[in-house]
Structure 1
Amino acid sequence: MSAERIFSGTLGLVSLGLLYLAWGYVAPIAYDPLGPRPYPVLLLLLLISCCLYLTFRPQKLAEFI
């Protein structure tokens, strides 16, 4: 149980670092109206939100699952 929370917290911190790197990415050629940045940012935000849930979920729910 504790190892799961430590792993998800560490993965969340790594994802925050990757989000910081992905936020500054600029493509040399504008080949798409949105650009290449939204896709990794969206995936990393989803990963961070899931890691936050796994790290801080209530103990009762953690035992049930």
Structure 2
Amino acid sequence: MEISARNAFKGTVKKIITGAVNDEVSIEIAPGVEVTAVITKTSAETLGLQEGKQAYAIIKASDVIVSVD
């Protein structure tokens, strides 16, 4: 895969929490390091995402949301 984004991390899908409209997808990009994103259910289905499948987390600085508990 070639992409212009500099922050692309290859990893393994660890968990998918399926919702009515959106899915929460967690990708382990290094041992003990996970990136979680909310994507549409349609996108998850189109990508064929499932636990154990390899996927990329692609992050743009302008599209990151940070929160705390």
Give the TM interval when normalised to the shorter protein. under 0.3
TM-score by length of 1: 0.23
Write 1 or 2 for the structure with the bigger share of helix: 1
Write 1 or 2 for the structure with the bigger share of strand: 2
The higher relative CO (CA closer than 8 Å, separation ≥ 6) is in 1
